[in-house]
Amino acid sequence: MAAPSLLNWRRVSSFTGPVPRARHGHRAVAIRELMIIFGGGNEGIADELHVYNTVTNQWFLPAVRGDIPPGCAAHGFVCDGTRILVFGGMVEYGRYSNELYELQASRWLWKKVKPHPPSSGSPPCPRLGHSFSLYGNKCYLFGGLANESEDSNNNVPRYLNDFYELELQHGSGVVGWSIPVTKGIVPSPRESHTAVIYCKRDSGSPKMYVFGGMCGARLDDLWQLDLETMSWSKPETKGTVPLPRSLHTASVIGNKMYVFGGWVPHKGENIETSPHDCEWRCTSSFSYLNLDTAEWTTLVSDSQEDKKNSRPRPRAGHCAVAIGTRLYFWSGRDGYKKALNSQVCCKDLWYLDTEKPPAPSQVQLIKATTNSFHVKWDEVPTVEGYLLQLNTDLPYQAASSDSSASPNMQGVRMDPHRQGSNSIIPNSISEIVNSVKSEHTAMKGTSVKNKPDLKASTDSNASSHSSLAANASNHNSCVVDMLRKNEGPHTSADIGVLSSCLDLRTVIPETSVSSTVSSAQTMVTQQTIKTESSSTNGAVVKDETSLTTFSTKAEVDETCALPATKISRVEAHAAMVPFSKETPSNPVAMVKAGERQWCDVGIFKNNTALVSQFYLLPKGKQSISKIGNADVPDYSLLKKQDLVPGTGYRFRVAAINGCGIGPFSKISEFKTCIPGFPGAPSAVRISKNVEGIHLSWEPPTSPSGNILEYSAYLAIRTAQIQDNPSQLVFMRIYCGLKTSCIVTAGQLANAHIDYTSRPAIVFRISAKNEKGYGPATQVRWLQDSVAD
């Protein structure tokens, strides 16, 4: 974690949609990139459900239906997959609730649920300010504040320390309440505390941690409950314990519990001598507890004043949500007095990256030409950009130092005509974050209407056709093929021409789902696709019925669509040769890697890039400027070098967030095309027939002469592939002039099921002209989970 002085808070200043009114006592949970907020109070208790998409910076009000609960504040709010549970809270002044509601976010459907009471004892009484924590299929309720008076206008507070367990049914509904028998000393009664649940990686025993709260005076004690033995204990901690507080937030990311804000003693007050009479104030202090070592670390102390508005101002009753390794904070109340007329609600939304982002997936090839690559990689959640680098065996000279260039020039400058529309041209990464992103990113393998249209690339699945025989040991594919006599046998090195073109992981799908969502809102969907028509960069696969051997129905997991969901069942893409070397993570423009240096292609906002050149760093110069906490070169001072035909290039990519540049991905290797070879076949289609399947395709859009023949290949099961699943073995199933072939059920029975991403049968198709075979198109025909 960064030192306190290096914390890089970001305020979200650019967003769209109906922003909820400021409030306190609300609650929030996350479903993928969505932050879902309910309840709270400010000039009346709020009853709307608000959703914020952290990728698109868009607020929206979903059209909820069903048993819509009344507005409430200081309630319990947990998320289990795509369902949300709401328990208790204040529904009006002095009147509290003990009702339980369930929201199915896949349909925005509310339902009032009635759990069975405990076998012995009473169900939970109406309350507010309790903790409500989820682990597995159970929710754990602890403490809160009840009103002893039957008259809501005559509030007689009673602090609680009772403990309940609520068992959930799978998917929807609940079983009932129970009152576990606990051991050890029970924490004192309290409300407005926090409770989180954490399980160490090397221990199967989950623990619940209760911190702080209010019982007439604020508390700073930490309690631990072992959920397996139901034993309470008070762990000894190291470091500086945060001040006593209530109405704070506690969020777990990794092995750390981050505590922010809340009501704390006013400066100068001695809480030991007069805990009930002292003044209280809001705070913006920020600490974390390492749950493995029980050590507190202060990131922002109560004494640190913020004169530059560079972090959230003091607040209490706010909400905090962890999305990936990023913490979001919204609203809450401010003010030094407890009197209602002195409380001012904050209207701001902030986030903080708690650690550097993980390494992205390997770079994947969409299209290769003689002097460019169109590449992509899997998105990393909650990042602000990506640093793409390459190196090559082609000799090149570092650019000579240009004395006329001002060393004080700052910022990143790239040529959008050469690098594509994804290039970032900011003076700082924060410009990326604060701008409204026009590309709406869906979840878990989905794409949406306004993603860049990659179908316009006619040879979009093409890649290098040139031989990599000299580097055959680096190839992860070989072909078992009965070839015609006049061609001679294909060795694994020869077939490296093919394997060097093929990517086992690229997915850029577009498939219509049976239902769509209005453009006014986002929906989290769970449904099954029965008929798919996938278009992947010009390769279309239709899959309308089922073989007896392979089922082609797909379950869509908790997918967010905005504004309409598109999900692929078939992936067609160009090729990649994984490169096994580990990569250094030094984020400067040129880094030693073996005997070659890494060069920056640039920093990109999205997870695709059109690469036609790269930057050369002058010898002995670093030209480093800051992007967040990351050092990157000032590209405006650097010279560029174009890609060269028939040349192999190695790629790696790293993600960037507010903590800096994360580790680099594994290395991928691609080769630019040599003029004169045919492009890759396109518009691949699969349909069922009585013999098996019908595989068809369109000729290359750039044949570079007459097409003499096509070859189609099928990845098959072998002992070799079982020993090394990443090394696919292919058998040629067709060779001829026709642009279609039949793959029999007998051939499919021998097919290998590739599990590098989702289970799929893999085909490859390539064209040959007078010069030879060009790049191949690879199609992954997605299957349900089947045994290989």
Which pLDDT score is estimated for 6? 54
Which pLDDT score is estimated for 329? 98
Residue 19: Cβ within 10 Å count: 12
pLDDT digits (tens, 9 = 90+) for 613-639: 999 876 655 444 455 555 667 888 889
Cα gap 310→10, rounded to integer Å:
8
Nearest in space to 398 (alpha carbons), one of 652, 604, 600 = 600
Nearest in space to 463 (alpha carbons), one of 681, 776, 778, 780 = 776
Residue 499 three-state SS: helix
Which pLDDT score is estimated for 785? 56
What's 416's DSSP letter? H
pLDDT mean over 446-465: 32
pLDDT mean over 432-449: 32
Residue 178: Cβ within 10 Å count: 18
Cα gap 166→175, rounded to integer Å:
7
Cα gap 473→469, rounded to integer Å:
9
Residue 498 three-state SS: helix
- Asked if 730 and 714 touch (Cβ cutoff 8 Å), the reply is yes
> Mean pLDDT score of the chain, rounded to an integer?
74
Nearest in space to 627 (alpha carbons), one of 309, 434, 422, 410 = 410
pLDDT mean over 245-254: 97
Cα gap 455→509, rounded to integer Å:
10
Tokens read off for 299: 């990131």
> Per-residue confidence at 728, pLDDT binned at 50, 70, 90?
confident
> Per-residue confidence at 722, pLDDT binned at 50, 70, 90?
low
Which parts of 359-423 fold into alpha helices (H)? 416-419
pTM for the structure as a whole: 0.69
Min mean pLDDT across 368-382, 502-516, 750-764, 766-780 is at 502-516
Structure-token match 């097409």, residue found: 707
> Per-residue confidence at 211, pLDDT binned at 50, 70, 90?
very high
Tokens read off for 621: 């110069």
Please indicate whether residue 303 or residue 753 has the higher confidence score (pLDDT).
753
Nearest in space to 633 (alpha carbons), one of 373, 404, 387 = 387
Which pLDDT score is estimated for 470? 27
Min mean pLDDT across 179-188, 285-294, 308-317 is at 308-317
pLDDT digits (tens, 9 = 90+) for 51-69: 999 999 999 999 999 999 9
Cα gap 695→683, rounded to integer Å:
11
> Per-residue confidence at 31, pLDDT binned at 50, 70, 90?
very high
Nearest in space to 227 (alpha carbons), one of 139, 113, 322, 162 = 139
pLDDT mean over 696-714: 92
Cα gap 771→765, rounded to integer Å:
17
Q: Does the pLDDT at position 599 exceed 90? A: yes
Which pLDDT score is estimated for 150? 80
Cα gap 570→780, rounded to integer Å:
6
> Per-residue confidence at 267, pLDDT binned at 50, 70, 90?
low
Which pLDDT score is estimated for 428? 36
> Per-residue confidence at 221, pLDDT binned at 50, 70, 90?
very high
Query: Which domains does the chain possess?
Result: 15-267+278-353 (2.120.10.80), 356-393+597-619+637-674 (2.60.40.10), 685-782 (2.60.40.10)
Cα gap 456→32, rounded to integer Å:
30
Cα gap 157→144, rounded to integer Å:
10
**Concatenated DSSP letters of 207-255:** EEEEEEEESSSEEEEEEEEETTTTEEE----BSPPPPPBBS-EEEEETT
CA distance to 31, 110, 173, per residue, from 83 (Å):
9, 10, 10
**Concatenated DSSP letters of 419-484:** H-TTB---SSTHHHHHSPPSS---SSSEE-TTS--GGG-TTTT----S--GGGGGG--EEEE----
pLDDT digits (tens, 9 = 90+) for 364-408: 887 788 899 989 998 998 999 999 999 987 665 444 433 333 332
Cα gap 285→300, rounded to integer Å:
5
Amino acid at 726: S
